[in-house]
Chains A and B, each alone.
Chain A
Amino acid sequence: MAVAEPTIAQRRAAINNSGTSGSDRARNFPTSAQIAQAAREISVPSPRQVIAANANRPKDQASDESMVLNMGPQHPSTHGVLRLVVELSGEDVLQLAPDVGFLHTGIEKNMEAKTYQKALVMTDRTDYLGPMINNMVYSLAVEKLLDCEIPPRAQVGRVLLNELERMNSYLVWLGTHALDLAAMSVFLYCFREREMILDIKELVSGARMMTSFIRPGGLAWDFPKEFKPTVQRFLDIFPGRIDEYEALLTDNPIWKDRTVGVGRLSAVDALALGVTGANLRATGVPYDMRKMFPYSGYENYDFKLITGTEGDTYERYLVRIAEMRESVKIAQQALDNLPDGPYATSDRKIWPPPKEEITYSMESLIHHFKLWTEGFKPPKGDAYVAVESGRGELGCYIVSDGSNKPWRVHFRAPSFINLQALPHMAQGKLIADLVAMIASLDPVLGEVDR
Chain B
Amino acid sequence: MTLDNATVRQRVVERFGAAVLEASEYRGDLALRLRPDALPQVAAFLRDDPDLQYIFLASITGVDYLGREPRFEVVYHLRSFVNMHLVVLKVGADEERPHVPSLVPLWPTATFQEREAYDMFGIVFDGHPDLQRILMPEDWDGYPQRKDQPLVYEEVAFTFNHDAVDAQKPYARE
Contact = CB atoms under 8 A, between A and B. Distances in A.
Contact of B77 (A25, A100, A395): A395
Given A26-B82, A35-B47, A383-B27, A271 B55 contact: yes
Contact of A44 (B48, B82, B112): B112
A274 B144 CA distance: 25
A26 B81 contact: yes
B132 A46 contact: yes
Nearest to B26: A381
A39 B105 contact: yes
A417 B48 contact: no
A284 to B, nearest CB: 13
Contacts, number: 136
A294 B159 CA distance: 53
Contacts of A384: 29, 59, 77, 86, 88
B84 interface: yes
B170 interface: no
A416 B50 contact: no
A43 interface: yes
Query: DSSP majority for the A interface?
Result: mixed
Given A48-B132, A110-B151, A292 B81 contact: yes
Given A101-B135, A410-B59, A417 B84 contact: no
Contacts of B116: 416
B26 A38 contact: no
In this complex, which of B31, B48, B109 has the most chain A Cβ atoms within 10 angstroms of its Cβ? B109
Contacts of B112: 44, 416-417, 419-420
Interface string A28-45: 011111011011101111
A292 B26 CA distance: 21
Contact of B145 (A42, A109, A144): A109
Given A39-B106, A100-B135, A147-B27, A397 B77 contact: yes
Interface in A263-281: 271-275
A371 to B, nearest CB: 22
Interface string A350-391: 000000000000000000000000000000011110100000
B84 A292 contact: yes
A271 B56 contact: yes
B165 interface: no
A15 B57 CA distance: 27
Size bracket of the A interface:
35 or more
A112 B149 CA distance: 12
B65 to A, nearest CB: 8
In this complex, which of A46, A144, A395 has the most chain B Cβ atoms within 10 angstroms of its Cβ? A46
A31 B52 CA distance: 11
A111 to B, nearest CB: 10
Interface of B: 26-27, 29, 31, 47-50, 53, 55-59, 61, 63-65, 75, 77, 81-82, 84, 86, 88, 104-109, 111-113, 115-116, 120, 129-130, 132-137, 144-145, 151
28 contacts: A30-B55, A31-B53, A32-B50, A33-B48, A35-B107, A36-B47, A46-B129, A46-B130, A100-B134, A101-B135, A101-B136, A101-B137, A104-B136, A106-B145, A113-B151, A274-B107, A382-B75, A384-B86, A393-B58, A397-B59, A399-B63, A407-B65, A408-B61, A410-B59, A412-B77, A416-B116, A417-B109, A417-B112
Going nearest first, the 7 A-B pairs with the smallest beta carbon separation are A274-B109, A101-B135, A412-B59, A44-B111, A104-B135, A410-B61, A46-B130
Interface of A: 25-26, 29-33, 35-36, 38-40, 42-46, 48-49, 100-101, 104, 106, 108-110, 112-113, 144-145, 147, 271-275, 287, 292-293, 381-384, 386, 393, 395, 397, 399, 407-408, 410, 412, 416-417, 419-420, 449-450
Given A44-B108, A273-B109, 14 more contacts: A31-B53, A33-B48, A43-B129, A101-B133, A104-B136, A271-B55, A273-B108, A274-B109, A393-B58, A395-B59, A408-B64, A412-B77, A420-B112, A449-B135
